[in-house]
Amino acid sequence: MSEFWEMSATELARRVRAREVSSREVVEACLRRIDEVNPQVNAVTVVLAEEAVRAADAADRALRSGAETGPLCGVPMTVKENVDVAGSATTFGIVPLRDAIAAGDAPHIAQLRAAGAIPIGRTNMPEFGMRWHTDNDLRGATRNPWSAAHTPGASSGGDAVAVATGMAPLGIGNDGGGSLRWPAQCCGVTALRPSLGRVPQVGRDRARQPTPFAFQLMAVHGPIARKVEDLRLALASMCGDAGGDPWYAPAPLEGPPVGHPVRVCLATDPDGPDLHPGLAEALRQAADRLTDASYVVEERPAPALTRAGEIYHQIMSAYGRVHDEQPPVELVASAGFVRFWAEFEPHWTRAAGRSTFDPMMERAEIARAWILWMSETPLVLAPICTGPAFPVGSDLDAGWLASWPAAIRMAVAVNLLGLPAVAVPIGEADGLPQGVQIIGPRFREDLCLDAAAAIEARVTPLTPLDPR
């Protein structure tokens, strides 16, 4: 029989509810796994051992008494350090916020707790969530368990590594520019970027800093897991309360039926760089798996993709700050981040392209083009990035960074348009995991999850794994 730390969230929840195993046994198994592997990968930054054991004991008492329990009863989860967890610091990966203790949970964390999930640890991220490699002066670098020489991705890199190595079956991060999907690709796990408005971004606490418009529009909270069914279970438990989010929309989790067979567009980027051979093969295999599951897959270019990437960068540049005057980055960030931004800023600026009179007006035109495109093929099969996990240090090289905005363009177009997407692993090439994303119409996470599950059922699981 599998060890508890190897099991999916869905399987653990079933066993705990059936009282085949106690919640405390599950939590203690994950704590032992953290002790065993985290020193090698540095993914979990703060272990919430005492709180987790207390919550597990409370869950076990409730089960013994016959009380109603939630669908995630007894399931451990990790939480990224830019999400509020009561009594724990929300650091954003920077030293000045090391003692920024949250007074309460973010709305979706409160809902996950109410569903029975148990926070077991906080997870690492790059400073401000603004690099695609997980490293900072506060916690240090996180290692990819597949290869120490390659990035684990970012900015939800700590959660991806924790889930991939079995330290928790579920991780909670966020995605403002591929930050769930990219580390999922790098680590061989699955992740869900929900639609804009599906999961509340902010709570009712008026004392918190306001959220910049760019992040209101393009960043969302979502889960990372080893199984697609766990993403579905987590989503259902984290999107039922608006909190204080004016973008929140209580849309049903299951949409109306679509025509069968479901048509899928294998999206291409005519202006983009060539796909790495491993990613090209992963896309071909994913298309074959969907065809085997009775989907109809056809290849076509994504509309206005280059311009979508440019508008994304324009909105982030103009509306991604809390204050008009920002403190010098050298005062709050590490030398590594300062170097990264100095090298990347010219390429970031160039990626914005021709300045638009009104970015939201142009965004609406791009969104209309995608709506028309997806009315014919409701799902889109696409790369997350055009290459696999890059060697550590690549994102400090100006020459390498020049190609990055185009490499990640398909991912950021999803953020610009507020669409749902599921990252799903396909296989392994040259010792690194390969993954793709399934993109759907807004609020049709169900279609994305169905297609991702069809792929997952036809490939060999890549995780959990021991660090190599």
Catalytic residues: 80, 155, 179
Contact between residue 398 and residue 290 where contact means Cβ atoms under 8 Å apart:
no
Beta bridge partners of 399: none
Tokens of 199: 């999961």
Q: Report d(CA 201, CA 208) in Å as an integer.
A: 12
DSSP letter, residue 396: G
Q: Phi-psi category of 424—alpha, beta or left, where left has phi over 0 and alpha has psi -120 to 50?
A: beta
Over its C-alpha atoms, the chain yields an Rg (Å, rounded) of 21
Contact between residue 425 and residue 434 where contact means Cβ atoms under 8 Å apart:
yes
Beta bridge partners of 226: none
Q: Which helix (H) or strand (E) holds 242?
A: none
Beta bridge partners of 422: 192, 438
Cβ-proximal residues to 453 (8 Å cutoff; 6+ apart), any chain: 228, 229
Q: What is the 3-state secondary structure (H, E, C) of 275-332?
A: CCHHHHHHHHHHHHHHHHCCCEEEEEECCCHHHHHHHHHHHHHHHCCCCCCCCCHHHC
